[in-house]
């Protein structure tokens, strides 16, 4: 009796994270639970709750093509940090948004040049740390490289290879950057760049997903196949939702660029 009470004592604090447990009542600790320590009991409860979730998902998914999984992060925190995985995926989406905003505009502005990376003998630096960027007219931007004249050629090369359809002209320590006219060809070029950026972001997203699934599989000998299956499905579901958001961003950007 003392051993049973010892096993059951930590259950309420763990189960508060699960609406499933609240709906169905507190589960009993397994009779065969060999672990006298709290951690052992905690693992038993995790297994029971995840198994219930699996049974529920499979039942709901009968006759349906997809059953949505929604695992409580608190129940699997010893296996993987799902919140961290979500944050990593959102960071990839955020980087894509920033790229769209900074580099893929119909009209090029001085701010678009700020973060172009310049490779110098001392390392990589943003263009705005090496030169003063200004707009002389709607059709011309100027980059004054007086402070770092030795990096003028490298800066011009970086601007030319930025993917922004710019052809800089060097005049001493001054780089003249003609602003391209807003032609249909230019719009289509930007739309292609948006597609390429989205594909690169999706590749980064796949890496986050693969890293998380690899982490889950490290526990395949410690937890049940059902638990592994649920977690893999949850991670894939998160990745699919992120990819869908990227597709929506691309569609909106393409519409903006092509008019």
- Residue 168 lies inside a defined structural domain of this protein: yes
User: Are 43 and 35 within 8 A, CB to CB?
Assistant: yes
What angle is formed at CA 247 by the lines to CA 85 and CA 104, rounded to 5 degrees? 100
pLDDT band at 57 (very low <50, low <70, confident <90, very high): low
Q: What is the pLDDT of residues 98-118, one digit of tens each?
A: 989 887 877 667 677 888 899
**Do 97 and 194 sit in the same domain of this protein?**
yes
The 10 Å Cβ neighbour count of residue 5 is 9
pLDDT band at 233 (very low <50, low <70, confident <90, very high): very high
pTM passes above 0.75: no
Structural domain boundaries, residue 116: 110-178
Does residue 15 register a pLDDT over 60?
A: no
Give the strands of the sheet with 174-178, arranged side by side: 132-137, 140-144, 174-178, 169-171
CA dist 8 and 78 (Å) reads 20
Of the CA atoms within 13 Å of residue 131, those in its CB half-sphere come to 32
Scanning the structure block, which residue is given the tokens 């009209």?
107
Give residue 107's pLDDT: 67
Identify the CATH number of the domain in which residue 210 sits.
Answer: 1.10.132.20
Q: Which of 151, 178, 205 delimits the end of a domain?
A: 178
Identify the CATH number of the domain in which residue 153 sits.
Answer: 3.30.1360.40
**Do 125 and 170 sit in the same domain of this protein?**
yes
pLDDT band at 163 (very low <50, low <70, confident <90, very high): confident
**Do 195 and 95 sit in the same domain of this protein?**
yes
């Amino acid at each position: 009796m003392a051993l049973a009470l010892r096993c059951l004592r930590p259950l309420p604090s763990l189960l508060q994270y699960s609406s499933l447990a609240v709906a169905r009542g507190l589960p009993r600790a397994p009779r065969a639970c060999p672990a006298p320590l709290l951690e052992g009991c905690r693992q038993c409860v995790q297994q029971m709750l995840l198994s219930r979730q699996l049974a529920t998902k499979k039942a709901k998914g009968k006759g349906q093509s997809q059953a949505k999984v929604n695992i409580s992060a608190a129940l699997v925190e010893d296996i993987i940090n799902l919140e961290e995985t979500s944050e990593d995926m959102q960071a990839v989406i955020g980087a894509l948004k920033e790229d769209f905003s900074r580099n893929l505009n119909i009209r090029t502005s001085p701010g678009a040049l700020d973060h172009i990376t310049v490779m110098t003998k001392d390392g990589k630096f943003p263009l705005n740390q090496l030169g003063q960027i200004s707009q002389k007219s709607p059709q011309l931007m100027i980059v004054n490289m007086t402070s770092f004249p030795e990096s003028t050629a490298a800066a011009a090369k970086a601007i030319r290879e930025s993917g922004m359809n710019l052809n800089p002209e060097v005049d001493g320590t001054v780089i003249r950057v003609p602003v391209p006219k807003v032609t249909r060809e230019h719009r289509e070029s930007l739309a292609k760049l948006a597609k390429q950026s989205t594909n690169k972001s999706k590749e980064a997203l796949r890496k986050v997903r693969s890293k998380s699934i690899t982490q889950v599989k490290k526990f395949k000998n410690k937890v049940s196949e059902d638990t592994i299956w649920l977690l893999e499905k949850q991670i894939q579901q998160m990745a699919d939702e992120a990819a869908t958001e990227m597709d929506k961003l691309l569609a909106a950007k393409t519409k903006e660029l092509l008019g």
